[in-house]
Copies of this chain bind each other. A is one copy, B any other.
Amino acid sequence: MQRLLTPVRRVLQVKRVMQEGSLLPARLLPAVHPRFSTFPAVPLAKTDTWPKDVGILALEVYFPAQYVDQTDLEKFNNVGAGKYTVGLGQSQMGFCSVQEDINSLCLTVVQRLMERTQLPWDSVGRLEVGTETIIDKSKAVKTVLMELFQDSGNTDIEGIDTTNACYGGTASLFNAANWMESSSWDGRYALVVCGDIAVYPNGNLRATGGAGAVAMLVGPEAPLALERGLRGTHMENVYDFYKPNVPSEYPLLDGSLSIQCYLRALDRCYTLYRQKIQNKWKQAGNDQPFTLDDLQFMIFHTPFCKLVQKSVARLMFNDFLLASGDTQTGLYKGLEAFRGLKLEDTYTNKDVDKALQKATLNTFNKKTKPSLYLSMCNGNMYTSSLYGCLASLLFHHSAQELAGSRIGAFSYGSGLAASFFSFLVSQDASPGSPLEKLVSSTSDLPKRLASRKRVSPEEFTEIMNQREQFYHKVNFSPPGDKNSLFPGTWYLERVDELYRRKYARRPV
């Protein structure tokens, strides 16, 4: 089993790989494109000059102060008990009234993060928003967030909005890290903001909604460092989930296609990620294969919790099909019958699924289940789903348990764009360490979740109807009680006759 390397050894490894230029594809040598020969066969820049350990320094999660219970929804929708709670693995679902929109969600989460970290507003040099909750086809949420920076006079903040379904948060995170390693970096922090309001028409689909936002402070020497050069990305053109009916807030969804696309993308991304990390290890003289054993934790974009359990199983199936030697005992026991199958033929194979879920139950419970806490209690936050899982994982473990581990992360956005990547957790878990601070910042999650208001399906449906009614309306002040929002929450105060939105904040 490949154990986590110490940071020092890691740096040396990466350095060697880079010096030998092993990540430069042979196909890019000049001879391949003779008519356009301006591209030199340069080696990659040396990694040891980039700022150290760029990644997540701090993280803030926002979810609405009201939820509907999934058992209540099951009764209300007159479906079998367990359809949502067991079938989907969901227990509660947060939702927003007309008082909240994507701008207010992001205003809230950014302000909370800045207040928590007590950073000056002019210490931010980049802010990018990933969202698919588009209420204006031109004006970025980012521009609305500039209001928060106004008093500081800091208007020199790069980054705008980025969109592809639930992938926008990850794209923003990658862009922020790239910025920090590039010549564009001016020494300031980056903020990555992702948020969404996931709503569906009345019916079973509605139970897969959710709402929320996550803001992340990105910088060097981070307790959660993005592991360099190790992203497996897969993008293709499919119509599994999309929002072409723009006058409506609801998406179009081909559920079974989307699950298949998600799992296929997971296979492809994991394969690429594994190839890249193995190449890296090989350069360091280590010929062992990469397996799930090398990921101490795994988090996934979570449309609903049950899919994530399938995903862990899927990753083990990838490992199993590549495993040499004895696979009849140990981890892969009970899978031998599926040895001859191809990945792409098994997306809907229930026997495979069942056997895999059984074989991976312990792995799932240990490495992934704790990350589903927020998804289970709040539903799908789209772009912020994966980062809500990260927050849940941090909450459920001590800094000591996390220190030195590798967290695998799978981001998926329908349409589709997906990446498998990883965070390396810093070794230092001492009190007051960045890691310990980050971990302890998530400790209020249960209290905040418990303080939400449980709303009946009837009232929830009424509020969803209001959302429909006010969607793209002008000249109104949203109905609803501001006092039902958490203290410190920004809310939509008014949309004027020219669609201009004005926001206010509930006192902290």
Contacts and interface: CB of A to CB of B under 8 A. Distances in A.
Most B CB contacts (10 A, CB to CB) among A58, A134, A233, A415 go to: A415
A45 B35 contact: no
B188 A25 contact: yes
Contacts of A242: 136, 138-139, 499
B132 A183 contact: no
Given A33-B117, A160-B417, A189-B39, A132 B143 contact: no
Contact of A244 (B135, B155, B228): B135
Most B CB contacts (10 A, CB to CB) among A123, A180, A223 go to: A123
Contact of A179 (B122, B144, B178): B178
Nearest to A496: B239
Contacts of A182: 50, 177-182
Given A123-B33, A146-B235, A160-B162, A247 B247 contact: yes
Contacts of A137: 132-134, 163, 243, 246
Interface string A176-198: 01111111111111000000000
Interface stretch (A166-174, A299-307, A364-372): A166-174
Interface in A435-494: 437, 472
Contact of A184 (B168, B178, B416): B178
Contacts of A140: 163-165, 415, 417
A158 interface: yes
Nearest to A228: B183
Contacts of A177: 182, 184
Q: Is the interface of A mostly helix, strand, loop or mixed?
A: loop
A237 B27 contact: no
B139 A414 contact: yes
Nearest to A382: B138
A247 B244 contact: no
Contacts of A413: 160
B245 A499 contact: yes
Nearest to A227: B183
A162 B164 contact: no
Nearest to A46: B49
Nearest to A145: B237
Nearest to A159: B171
A232 interface: yes
A49 B49 contact: yes
Nearest to A229: B183
A162 B162 contact: yes
B38 A158 contact: no
Contacts of A223: 38
Most B CB contacts (10 A, CB to CB) among A46, A139, A171 go to: A139
Contacts of A142: 164, 235, 417
Contacts of A33: 117-120, 123
Given A25-B186, A187-B23, A174 B158 contact: yes
Most B CB contacts (10 A, CB to CB) among A44, A47, A182 go to: A182
B132 A35 contact: no
A100 interface: no
Interface in A33-79: 33-36, 38-40, 42, 44-47, 49-52, 57-58
A191 to B, nearest CB: 13
A219 interface: yes
Contact of A164 (B46, B120, B138, B500): B138
A146 B237 contact: yes
Given A144-B237, A158-B174, A237-B143, A138 B243 contact: yes
Nearest to A180: B182
Given A27-B120, A245-B472, 19 more contacts: A24-B187, A25-B186, A28-B188, A39-B189, A39-B220, A42-B221, A50-B182, A135-B244, A136-B244, A138-B163, A138-B241, A138-B415, A143-B235, A143-B237, A146-B237, A159-B171, A160-B167, A162-B163, A244-B472
